[in-house]
Amino acid sequence: MRKWWPLAAVCLGTFLFLLDTTVLTVALPDIGDDLSAPLPALQWVVTVYPLVLAVSLLTMGALADRHGARAVYVAGLTVFGLASLACGLASDTGVLITARAVQGIGGAAMAVTTFALIGAVYRGPDMGRAMGVFGAVTGLAAAVGPMLGGVLTQYLGWRAVFFLNLPLVAVTVALSLRVLTAGRPDAGIRVDLPGTVAFAVCAGSLAYALTRAGEDGWTSPAALGLPALAALAFAVFVRVELRRSAPLLDVRLFTRASFSAVMTCVIASTAAFAALVYTSLCLRSGLGLGPVRAGLALMPLALASFVTSLIGGRRLHGKPPRVVLSAGLLLNGAGCALQAGLRADSSAASLAVGLAVTGVGVGLTGPVMGTAVFAAFPAERSGMAAGAMTTFRQLGQTLWVAAFGVLFQHGGGPMADGLNRVLVATAAVGVAGSVLAWFSVAEPAGEKDALPPARRDHTGSRPR
């Protein structure tokens, strides 16, 4: 039994940082009312966490190699806990958004070290069991997030959503220091600060431009100027990475059709989760549901995703990734199309079937996405592949929330109309991603292990 304590320490941290991507979904209206926050500010409360997490992932792998995976993991937990305390005590949206950004830094430190920490302890059959439990925990975090957020918000207030993290962080830090392998630091590893800054400016400018466009229109100075800044920052990022011997991301890989296709599919797969932000807002503020009822209304997606991940991970092992990925993205789109058509007098039950279908799609794409990504990378770049997948997934969620905010606010009218526009767009993304996956995603060269061997790529810490 003692040999599974390291897995428990890693799974607890993973559960925490993933939970904070979904637990706020039904609490947003209460945050808006309490802090007098407009919709653009609430968008940033949601998007700044995955945005900073995505940007920070590019450097946290290098820091883990330099200082040791356990040290970075525990530091990330500590930062995450302190930021959660600041979120719970926030007196205005500026403080809350800043604290959420710091949470993202801590979350990145946890996310990038998980595979290295598991790989340092488990081998052979134990590795398979460990990764199975780890996958179930990631699905569980998504499944319980909306319901847990609803219960806490309704009975204890939205601040309890953040305060809940504090005892869990304390337990995880204590357990991690006791049972996790310390690893071997390598002071020779260098952090690519210029590349990180350029990537952060590019992603942040795009997200902020979309947010301002939703509030002020596409002719506003911010909506016109910030995309140009993002393009300039992207050009700088490409130039910096091309000149590095150990880049954060080998941008030359984008010349491969299979690589570009699978990264696009990673981004497309996050659209359904981004749409949940606006589904929740419509349920709470449009249809007048309380936090618990809104959380219950979203459960068909979460439960269908969790069950499909558990069953599909075993039943679909060895199936061509492009087939499973294409089917999953198509179901994402079909589910969102079934949800569209909501009216101001509709009931939450009218969304149930569509949410469940979307959940099945999400459950299919999750387990197979890693296989598709690793097939698109050279075998010796598996560490970079893991980091790129997580980075693009978080970045995609950030940009979709910002982009859907433009559609949600466009033209005014009832919230249900805005949600329908978001759902139609999400359905289109799912269908387009499905077609792209079917024709362009590469097949793996051969059977791969559940956990590919990590190298010292700076987007994923090596096992110790």
Task: Please check the confidence at residue 446 and state whether its pLDDT lies above 60.
Answer: no
The phi and psi torsions of 232 (rounded to 5 degrees) equal -65, -45
Residue 247 main-chain phi, psi, to 5 deg? -70, 155
Report pLDDT for 436.
Answer: 94
Whether 454 has a pLDDT exceeding 50, the answer reads no
Which percentage of the chain shows pLDDT scores above 90? 34
Does the pTM exceed 0.85? no
User: What are the tens digits of pLDDT across the range 98-132?
Assistant: 999 999 999 999 988 887 788 788 877 787 778 77
Q: Average pLDDT of 71-85? A: 96
Task: Say if residues 179 and 70 touch (Cβ distance below 8 Å).
Answer: no
Q: Model confidence at 412, in pLDDT bands (50, 70, 90)? A: low
Q: In percent, how much of the chain has pLDDT > 70?
A: 90
Query: What are the pLDDT digits (tens) for 241-270?
Result: 898 877 877 888 888 888 888 889 999 999
The reported pLDDT for the residue numbered 357 is: 95
**pLDDT value at residue 243:** 87
Q: Tell me, what's the pLDDT at 321?
A: 82
Mean pLDDT of 434-457: 62
Give the pLDDT confidence of 345-402 residue by residue, as tens digits.
Answer: 778 888 899 999 999 998 888 777 877 877 777 766 666 676 778 888 888 988 898 8
Residues 6+ apart with CB under 8 A from 315: none
pLDDT at res. 450: 40
Alpha-carbon distances of 126 from 111, 119, 430, 451, rounded to whole Å: 21, 10, 36, 12
Exposure string for 54-73, b = 16+ CB within 10 A, e = fewer = bbbbbbbbbbbbbbbbbbbb
Q: What share of the chain is helix, strand, coil (3-state, %, to 5)?
A: 80, 0, 20
Cα 93 from Cα 215, distance rounded (Å): 17
Confidence of residue 326 (pLDDT cuts 50, 70, 90): very high
With beta carbons less than 8 A apart as the criterion, state whether 216 and 223 touch: yes
In angstroms, how far is CA 159 from the centroid of its own chain? 22
- Across the range 195-202, mean pLDDT stands at 89
- pLDDT given for residue 453 in this prediction: 40
pLDDT (mean) for 214-226: 78
Tell me which of 155-159, 232-236, 289-293 is least confident.
289-293
Please, what is the Cα angle at 64 between 164 and 252, to 5 degrees? Answer: 115
Is pLDDT above 50 for 175? yes
pLDDT score for 186? 66
Confidence of residue 32 (pLDDT cuts 50, 70, 90): very high
